[in-house]
Amino acid sequence: DVKVTQSSRYLVKRTGEKVFLECVQDMDHENMFWYRQDPGLGLRLIYFSYDVKMKEKGDIPEGYSVSREKKERFSLILESASTNQTSMYLCASSSLTGAHSPLHFGNGTRLTVT
Amino acid sequence: RKEVEQDPGPFNVPEGATVAFNCTYSNSASQSFFWYRQDCRKEPKLLMSVYSSGNEDGRFTAQLNRASQYISLLIRDSKLSDSATYLCVVINNDMRFGAGTRLTVKP
């Protein structure tokens, strides 16, 4: 079974703090994604990566950056956390083979910015 | 218009009922389709892929209607454990999620 692990289940940070959300997958997947999920809005794509050191903006990249130095790890960075970034953050990975293979999600990080 | 739209519900049905959800998409070039299930405060998990010819997995049936640009999920003989939010996913060059349909199955 694919395992996608997010480093924290719950986080509370203050406005202006720099926040790192870590995600690791163990299935040698090429693709990794960061989403946020908010009530009524569904999942919205922040950033994704198809390869090491490669990143692409999703629908809502503002206020976020990412890092993919190793294939198995994809980090989401909030340079200066704001209250409107309070959300559930979900990391996901998928295989490049068999195009459009489904996503496997981590169990999420619920971030509260006060 | 949103790229992927779902009726948010909630759908409240008794045990044993049959319930169906639709998910419409705007991009006619969309190529792959999935249904995910998400329990409260948990991550989405793949329920089933949706194939052009329609497919069935136990009590669950998924259909694709390309002409009308929607996919559907039918749940027969619903169980209490089916209570969850069901998300549709539509793929073209990226993945687009619907906001989800909440289902509650009651005794």
Question: Which pLDDT tens digits describe chain B residue by residue (107 residues)?
Answer: 678 999 888 999 999 999 999 999 999 988 889 999 999 888 999 999 998 889 999 999 999 999 999 999 999 999 999 999 999 999 877 778 898 999 999 99
Q: Do B49 and A102 touch (CB under 8 A)?
A: yes
Query: Which of A105, A107, A109, A112 would best serve as a mutation to test chain B binding (most B beta carbons within 10 A)?
Result: A105
Query: A-B interface: how many C-beta pairs under 8 angstroms?
Result: 42
Which residues 55-94 of chain A have a CB within 8 Å of chain B?
58, 90
Distances (CA, A) of B8 to A87, A89, B64: 19, 21, 20
Please tell me the predicted confidence (pLDDT) of residue A21: 97
Percent pLDDT > 90 in chain A is 76
B69-98 pLDDT tens trace: 999 999 999 999 999 999 999 987 777 889
Please tell me the predicted confidence (pLDDT) of residue A95: 84
Nearest to A23 by CA among A70, A86, A79: A70
Burial class (CB in 10 A: 0-12, 13-18, 19+), B21: buried
* Chain B contact present for A103, CB below 8 A: yes
**pLDDT at residue A97 greater than cutoff 70:** no
Asked if A50 and A33 touch (Cβ cutoff 8 Å), the reply is no
Q: Which residues pair with A56 in a beta bridge?
A: A48
**pLDDT at residue A83 greater than cutoff 70:** yes
A23-76 pLDDT tens trace: 999 989 999 999 999 987 889 999 999 899 999 999 899 999 999 999 999 999
Please tell me the predicted confidence (pLDDT) of residue A103: 86
**Torsional sign, CA B96, A110, A102, A32:** positive
Q: How many Å apart are CA A108 and CA A42, to the nearest integer?
A: 14
**pLDDT at residue A107 greater than cutoff 60:** yes
Q: Which residues of B touch A (CB under 8 A)?
A: 8, 31-32, 34, 41-46, 49, 87, 89, 91, 94-95, 97-100
Q: Do A102 and B46 touch (CB under 8 A)?
A: yes
Q: Do B87 and A42 touch (CB under 8 A)?
A: yes
Confidence band, pLDDT 50/70/90 cuts, at residue A96: low
